[in-house]
Amino acid sequence: MDKSLVAIVRYEKPFDSVRKAVELSGGLDNLPSRAKVFIKPNLVFWTKEVVFPKWGVLTTSRVIEDMIVLLKERGIDDIVIGEGIVTWDSKDKETPLHAFETLGYNALKRRYGVKHVNILDRPFEKVDLGEGVELSFNQDILHSDFVVDIPVMKAHNQSVVSLAFKNLKGILDIASRKKCHSADLQKNLHFMIARLPDRLPPTFALLDGIYTNERGPFVDGKIRRSNVLVASSDIFSADLVGARVLGYQPSEVPYLVHAAGNRNRPYDLSDIRIAGEKIEDVAAFHEHDYTYLEDKDRVLPLPMFKQGMKGLYYRKYDLSMCTYCSGMNGLILNAIRYAWQGQPFDDVEVLTGKIMKPTPGHKKTILMGKCMVQANKDHPDIQEMIAVKGCPPKPEAIVDALHKAGIPVNPVLFEKRKELPGLLMKNYEGRPEFDESFFRVQE
């Protein structure tokens, strides 16, 4: 059997490096003439209030433009860039438009005639992925002739890595994205991710590792300038190699194990041929998870544990916590960290996601979000229930619940939540390798 081809290229020069990755991988060799091409970047988050660290969070506009030029060279005129950006307010239409303008997608439209769409404004179509799983996919990608999947190379606190497979979660409608974070322990997030490419047109994966992200996927991860591209016309092989570049054996990445079984393929790279750089010459371990510690007085993330905080049992997130609650979860933890004044909290347990159950004996139990409230509102082990309804819960409801539990978080942190990512920019001041021009298009 012919081995799948994957290219690893060091990013050294605009356009030339992307061309080299495409040519070494043969990624566009089977591109149909006059194809309708759908480009899927990774724009996991945006806020128009402040400039925030985009490196290792968003696909670089530089790589998007280089890919468009290569498609145009092959006579492709029907190109759509599509993404469904997560916003604090699901009804927010202005933020995605601001992202497209700031990242230069409107300039790409004027220069090359490409289109860009917020897929949350576009029609969806139910797709049967087998084993009783149906998810709703954006119609533009389903009815294209060819897909170019351009994720950022990230370690991810739930899926271990976030590469070409995981990037496709952004073409689902919101209900399907939440469904991927199922309470079903078998058909969980890993199970779902492994099936996302299965009904799509032929897909070329170009992993953008100019910047990579440790403990991603968001702006609070540890971002590195890595200067690596991984490319393949076989999305599974691209992710196997991408995982290795991020320092993981594919056997450590559950969605890749699922995908190998679905495809009847090994996950040890024995059926893959590498062109360009050697994996070992570019690989660097990227921690994906956050450490939580516990004793009789607390369950907390490591920084809060070291801080000496007691009386709070904030259980570690699991795979059932969806993107919307995940975005709020980090804010909640930071708000609590700043609120602690040295005295133990009043034996408060906080539950998140869809599957956690209360621990007997705690005085107060905060059920964070609609899913958790529905799962445990009548649980007999809860002494005093503080329910935070909503999907996702509103910031003011979260603040009110924490205050009821005796945790005096500052409401301003929640009111200014759209501006907080900008504070992280100071981490990159005076470091020229973190260059904003990668996210601009020159006109």
When divided into structural domains, the chain yields a total of 2
Domain co-membership, 153 together with 298? no
**Dihedral pair phi/psi, residue 255, rounded to 5°:** -65, -30
Question: What CATH number should be reported for the domain holding residue 231?
Answer: 3.40.50.11440
Say whether both 80 and 140 belong to one domain: yes
What does the longest C-alpha to C-alpha distance in the chain come to? 68
pTM, rounded to two decimals: 0.96
**Is residue 51 one of the residues assigned to a domain?**
yes
- Domain membership flag for residue 154: yes
If asked whether residues 196 and 241 sit together in one domain, one would say yes
Rounded CA-CA distance 209/387 in Å is 41
Angle ∠(319,321,322) on CA atoms, nearest 5: 110
The pLDDT assigned to 220 comes to 92
Instruction: Note the pLDDT of residue 88.
Output: 76
- Residue ranges of the chain with pLDDT lower than 50? none
Tell me what pLDDT residue 230 has: 98
Q: What is the pLDDT of residue 81?
A: 98
pLDDT at 1: 60
Is residue 309 situated within a structural domain?
Answer: yes
41, part of any domain: yes
Residues 274 and 313 in one domain: no
**Per-residue pLDDT tens over the stretch 197-218:** 999 999 999 999 999 999 999 9
Q: SS3 for the chain, per residue?
A: CCCEEEEEEECCCCCHHHHHHHHHHCCCCCCCCCCEEEEEECECECCCCCCCCCCCCECCHHHHHHHHHHHHHCCCCEEEEEECCECCCCCCCHHHHHHHHHCCHHHHHHHHCCEEEEHHHCCEEEEEEECCEEEEEEHHHHCCCEEEEECEEEEECCCEEECHHHHHHHHECHHHHHHHCCCCCCCCHHHHHCCCCCCCCCEEEEEEEEEEEEEECCCCCEEEEEEEEEEECCHHHHHHHHHHHCCCCHHHCHHHHHHHHHHCCCCCCCCEEEEECCHHHHCCCCCCCCCEEEECCEEEEHHHHHCCCCCEEECCCCCCCCHHHHHHHHHHHHHHHHHCCCCCCCCEEEECCCCCCCCCCCCEEEEECHHHHHHHCCCCCCCEEEEECCCCCCHHHHHHHHHHCCCCCCHHHHHCCCCHHHHHHHHHCCCCCCCHHHHCCCC
Q: Which of 263, 288, 313 is the last residue of a domain?
A: 288
Q: Is 432 domain-assigned?
A: no
Residues 147 and 216 placed together within one structural domain of the fold:
yes
Based on the domain organization, do 367 and 260 belong to the same domain? no
Last residue of a domain, one of 259, 288, 317: 288
Same domain? For 141 and 259 the reply is yes
**302 lies in the same domain as 278:** no
Same domain, 241 and 352: no
Same domain? For 270 and 315 the reply is no
The parent domain of residue 241 ranges over 4-288
Residue 396 and residue 272 share a domain: no
288, 316, 342 - which closes a domain: 288
User: For 334-387, what is each residue's pLDDT tens digit?
Assistant: 999 999 999 999 999 999 999 999 999 999 999 999 999 999 999 999 999 999
Whether residue 438 is contained in a domain is answered as: no
Same domain, yes or no: 194 and 182: yes
Does 189 reside within a domain?
A: yes
**Residue 320 in domain:** yes
